[in-house]
Structures are given as C-alpha cells and as structure tokens.
Amino acid sequence: MLENSLVGTAEDVSKIAFGFMASKALFAGLHIDVFTKLADGPKSSAQISKEANVPVNRITTLMTALTSIGLVDRDDEGEMYSNSPGADSFLSKASKYEFGDYLRYQIDQQMYPFLGQLNEVLDGSLAPEAVDSYQHWMNDAEQASIYCEAQHAGSLGPGRTLCRLVDLSEAETLLDVGGGTGAMSIRLLEAFPKLISTIIDFPNVAEIGWKFISEAKMVDRIRYIPSNALTTQWPKEQGAILMSYLFSGIPGTEVPRLVEYAFECLEPGGSLMIHDFMVEDDRSGPPMAALWQLQHMAFTPDARSVTPGWLRARLNEVGFIDIKEDDMIPGLTRLIHARKPK
C-alpha cells in the first residue's frame, strides 16, 4: 500500500483515502487481543466471540476485515481463522517480538488523533489549547504515561541495532538527550559495561523512566536531569552523546544549535549519535519516513523534514569527523554518527 510509484487510477486514490480503515481494523484486533487468542491455533468466530466477550456478528465483521487485509487467514470452509505469519510474530503477546501494545497505545490512542490537527497546522488556525510541542504534551501526566510505556517497548529493538553499529568501548560517559524512559541507554549500557548514562527529559517522563531503569537493574549507572533538553544546561566532557527521535519533534531552527552544543559538550574523540526519521536527500521517500515526519508536524508545527545530507552538512560545519550513515529501522529511521577530533 505504501509505495513510491505514481498514482494512476481511481482505485489507487481510494486505497490511499481508505487506508485508515485498515489501520483501525488492526487496532480493533489488538484492542480485543484477537491475535494472541489465535496464537494457540485456529478458532471460529463463535469461539473468539466467547473468549473476547463480543457479540459474534461483530467478531465476524472484524475477522472478515482482518482477513481481507492479510492479517489473518481463513480455512477453505470459511469457518476457522488463524494468524498470518506476521501477526503471529509481531501482534501476538505469545511472541517475544510482539509490538502490539506500542501500536495500540502510542499509535492508535495518541499519534492517530494528532493527525486530526494537520489541516489546522497547515493553514495556521491551530487552537491555542491544542498540543503544539512535546513539552506541552508531556506536561499531561496521563498522556506522558501512555506515550512512555509504548515508546519504551518500541525502542528496545532499535537499541539493540544501535549497539551493533557503534563502538563505545572507550567511552565512560553517555549523555542521552531526550532519552525518554532510557530504553536506548539501557541497551548501550548492557553492551558497554564501563559506560554510565545521564538522561535529559521532562519530569513526568523521568518519573516513569525510573521504573524501567530499576527493572533493568541500572539505578547505579543511569541518572536523570528532569528538564527540557532545549533549555537546560548539558553536562560537559561527555564520551558520547545520543539524540534519538529528538530532531523530528523540535523546531527545525533548533537542530543546528543542538549539533553545535553537542560538539561543545563532547570530550575530544567523543562520539555523536543521531537517530531519527529521515527521508532521502532527493525527498523521494521512503514513504514511512516521510509520513512519520508529517505526523510529527501535526503536533510540532515548526519541525523540519530532515534529510541525511542536510544533517551531515551541519555536523561537518561544526567540526565533526568520520561522519557515517546507517539504516536503523529500514525504510523508517537512520543513524548519523561521527566523532569530535582528539
């Protein structure tokens, strides 16, 4: 459904226009945990209805929709439903790779509604009380809790990838700017035992983060500066600085300043890591990265659509060397990493 090819037919337009219905079918399936219910084998609408405590006619309609978009399969008699391989691997709580709660909470309950602000952002009529920044959003303790719980689960996998792409074996201190509940810090500290981390994030986020840090038994290696990373003072002489999913959620004018500030706060030879949604330099895609940038603009109107080339140029301007680029989540996020000269 998400391709770079030009749209040519009314059917193509309709697939895009009605695509939100498929998303909602997926979220509804997660809401009643249907993919976990199918993890132990095929079931009929009646069986799912009984387990989910949902009338059978509604289950039948939902399962028909999920079948039509390939999330579940139906037997030749049309009576028994089973998970698709993807649903079994990523949407069932029985799988260690499951990220259904991330989709259910952060995407369905938070990101999806934010897109309702997009028209107002574009024409400049966004209401004063509407969420227009991460700071505004994270000031709400309930919203911060929903976001952080889902974001933590969704960041542990990319955190493992990050550990394979960078070498912090010589670093002793990590500054995780906008580091949320510490998922990336936890993964890096697991991979590099002599590393300790300082996370800067909003007070509501830091409070939630301590739970995950305690569970990871990292309370003696991670500390918080509970503040807005854009306005607070950063600690100096850091061995490494990470900014993950930060630039897509701040005004674009702040990005060059933060790159320069990171250079200032690193020790000689220190490493900078920037992980975020990035589109190609020619802005041809990829679609998922481009749509996530659009999504962020819906609640951060002055956010910039970042490209790797533009970001690499900013790093080069302030003096970073050994600038490298890697895929983190293919088709979605990239990692730009570099060093401050010794």
CATH number of the domain to which 318 belongs:
3.40.50.150
Q: Among the three residues 74, 98, 122, which one is the final residue of a domain in this structure?
A: 98
The answer on pLDDT for 261 being more than 90 is yes
What does pTM read for this prediction? 0.90
As a whole number of angstroms, the distance between CA 220 and CA 13 comes to 54
Determine contact, residues 140/203, Cβ cutoff 8 Å: no
pLDDT digits (tens, 9 = 90+) for 181-207: 999 999 999 999 999 999 999 999 999
- Residue 118 and residue 90 share a domain: no
State pLDDT tens for residues 126-147. 998 888 788 888 888 888 888 8
Q: Are both 297 and 256 inside the same structural domain? A: yes
Domain annotation covers residue 103: no
| Among candidate residues 70, 98, 126, the one where a domain is terminated | 98
Q: Which pLDDT band holds residue 79 (cuts at 50, 70, 90)?
A: confident
Structural domains counted in the chain: 2
Instruction: Kindly state whether residue 200 falls inside one of the protein's structural domains.
Output: yes
Which one of 43, 65, 98 terminates a domain?
98
Do 246 and 211 share a domain, yes or no? yes
Asked whether residue 311 is domain-assigned, the answer is: yes
- State residue 4's pLDDT score: 67
Contact 333, 293 (CB under 8 A): no
Is 57 contained in some domain?
yes
Q: Give the least confident one: 54-58, 148-152, 247-251, 279-283.
A: 148-152
Q: What local confidence, expressed as pLDDT, does residue 3 receive?
A: 62
The verdict on 115 and 93 lying in the same domain is no
Range of the domain at 94: 10-98
Q: Which range is least confidently modeled, 61-75, 97-111, 130-144, 264-278?
A: 130-144
Distance separating alpha carbons of residues 309 and 302, to the nearest angstrom: 20
141 and 87 both lie in a single domain:
no
Q: What is the mean pLDDT of the chain?
A: 94
